[in-house]
């Protein structure tokens, strides 16, 4: 069967390889030593101890850092859509509880995304620890957990979106639209460079951008465990707010996918074979 569950080895290999690559390219602490939190911030855009800027080159680099996420979305999205295509013929003809089937598959997808992110983080941090002196403190562990959860939710949301759109447009167009949407959100941050001195206004606009929620260096929090480690320039973006925002997006995408699975008969319109993009 094409379910994601049977492709976990590929996910682990993908995560380990890309984690190593991203770490080699983008983690470079000043003076060769850094805390875990600084290393994690560099994974999502920061340069040294400076948080991600809004100029085009830095945003482009941020996009390159997200390459593993885009790759994982494509892979898990494919697998889920593939399994759904198969299930439309072999499973839904015998089992009428489509929602139950989808919930089970959604949890497997969530688990796969979490596995990808965990292996990715482990690989990136291990590579960084071999090259530099990385000190582990409580605030770093909290940020690591936040990174794991938010990226897991994001990958799950985008994979669900690929599946939903693939039913209508075919897998190729679905992925192009999903990735294009994410690129659009990143590009939309670039004009804010001109008003970046007004941090309150910039923060207020950025807070609506889901891609901005993935940048660890832009988060702030009052959690005592973080010990004042986060120095966000933009006041409107918080760790808990970002989790809630991305969580809502994930739920919305899952609900859309669930709706499609429940009510759409793929056997009638297979866009992959009928010339859809």
Partner 1 sequence: MKRFTDLLAGQVKFLLSQKEAVITFYILLAFVLSNFCRNVVDFQGSDVHAMVYPMRLLVLSMDCLNYKASTLLMFIQIYPLLVVLPAGLSLARDRNLGPDLLLTSRIGSMDYRIIKVLGTGIATFIVFSIPFLLEMLMNMAAFPMKAFGNLSSLSVYDPAYAAGVRNYLFSGLYLRSPLLYSLLGILFFAFLSGVLAAFTASISSLIRIRLLLILFLPVYALLTISSYFGGRGGQAFAWYHYFFLFDDVHKSTFFLSACLVLILVFTVAATLAGGRKDCIR
Q: How far is the CB of 230 from partner 1 (least distance, A)?
A: 26
Secondary structure in 3-state letters for the chain = CCCHHHHHHHHHHHHHHHHHHHHHHHCCCHHHEEEHHHHHHHHCCCECCECCCCCHHHHHHHHHHCHHHHHHHHHHHHHHHHHHHHHHHHCCCCCCCHHHHHHHHHHHHHHHHHHHHHHHHHHHHHHHHHHCEEECCHHHHHHHHHHHHHHHHHHHHHHHHHHHHHHHHCHHHHHHHHHHHHHHHHHCCHHHHHHCCCHHHHHHHHCCCCCHHHCHHHCECCCHHHCCCCCCCCCCCEHHHHHHHHHHHHHHHHHHHHHHHHHCCCCCCCCCCCCCC
Per-residue string for binding with partner 1, 108-147, x by CB under 8 A? Answer: ----------------------------------------
Per-residue string for binding with partner 1, 178-207, x by CB under 8 A? Answer: -xx--xx-xxx-xx----------------
Q: How far is the CB of 227 from partner 1 (least distance, A)?
A: 33
Kindly tell me which of 79 and 220 has the beta carbon lying closer to partner 1: 79
Q: How far is the CB of 172 from partner 1 (least distance, A)?
A: 4
Q: How far is the CB of 240 from partner 1 (least distance, A)?
A: 29
Distance CA 93, CA 81 (A): 17
Kindly tell me which of 67 and 225 has the beta carbon lying closer to partner 1: 67
Per-residue string for binding with partner 1, 29-68, x by CB under 8 A? Answer: ---------------------------xx-xx--xx--x-
Applying the rule CB under 8 A, the residues between 153 and 182 that interact with partner 1 are 162, 166, 170-172, 174-176, 179-180
Contact pick of 19, 45, 53, 77 for partner 1 (by CB under 8 A): 77
Contact pick of 81, 84, 102, 151 for partner 1 (by CB under 8 A): 81
Kindly tell me which of 143 and 161 has the beta carbon lying closer to partner 1: 161
Kindly tell me which of 80 and 144 has the beta carbon lying closer to partner 1: 80
Q: Counting every residue, how long is the chain?
A: 277
Token pair of 31 as six digits: 């003076």
Verify binding: residue 251, partner 1, rule CB under 8 A. no
Q: How far is CA 204 from the centre of its chain?
A: 22
Q: How far is CA 157 from the centre of its chain?
A: 8
Binding site for partner 1 (CB under 8 A): 21-22, 24-25, 56-57, 59-60, 63-64, 67, 70-71, 74, 77-78, 81-82, 162, 166, 170-172, 174-176, 179-180, 183-184, 186-188, 190-191, 272-273, 275, 277
């Amino acid at each position: 069967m094409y379910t994601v569950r049977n492709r976990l080895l590929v996910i682990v290999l993908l995560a380990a390889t890309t984690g190593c690559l991203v770490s080699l390219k983008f983690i470079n602490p000043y003076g060769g030593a850094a805390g875990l939190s600084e290393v994690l911030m560099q994974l999502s855009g920061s340069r040294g101890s400076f948080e991600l800027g809004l100029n085009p080159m830095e945003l482009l680099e941020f996009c390159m850092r997200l390459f593993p996420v885009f790759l994982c979305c494509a892979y898990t999205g494919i697998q889920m859509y593939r399994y759904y295509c198969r299930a439309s013929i072999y499973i839904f003809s015998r089992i009428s509880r489509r929602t139950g089937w989808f919930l089970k598959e959604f949890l497997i997808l969530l688990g796969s995304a979490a596995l990808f992110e965990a292996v990715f983080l482990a690989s990136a941090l291990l590579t960084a620890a071999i090259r530099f002196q990385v000190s582990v403190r409580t605030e770093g562990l909290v940020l690591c957990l936040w990174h794991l959860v938010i990226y897991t939710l994001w990958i799950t949301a985008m994979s669900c979106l690929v599946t939903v759109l693939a039913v209508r447009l075919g897998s190729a167009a679905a992925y192009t639209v999903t990735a294009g949407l994410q690129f659009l959100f990143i590009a939309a941050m670039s004009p804010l460079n001109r008003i970046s001195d007004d941090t309150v206004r910039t923060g207020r606009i950025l807070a609506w951008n889901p891609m901005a929620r993935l940048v660890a260096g832009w988060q702030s929090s009052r959690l005592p465990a973080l010990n004042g480690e986060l120095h966000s320039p933009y006041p409107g973006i918080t760790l808990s707010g970002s989790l809630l925002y991305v969580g809502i997006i994930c739920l919305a995408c899952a609900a859309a996918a669930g709706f499609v699975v429940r009510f759409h008969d793929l056997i009638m319109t297979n866009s992959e074979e009928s010339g859809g993009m």
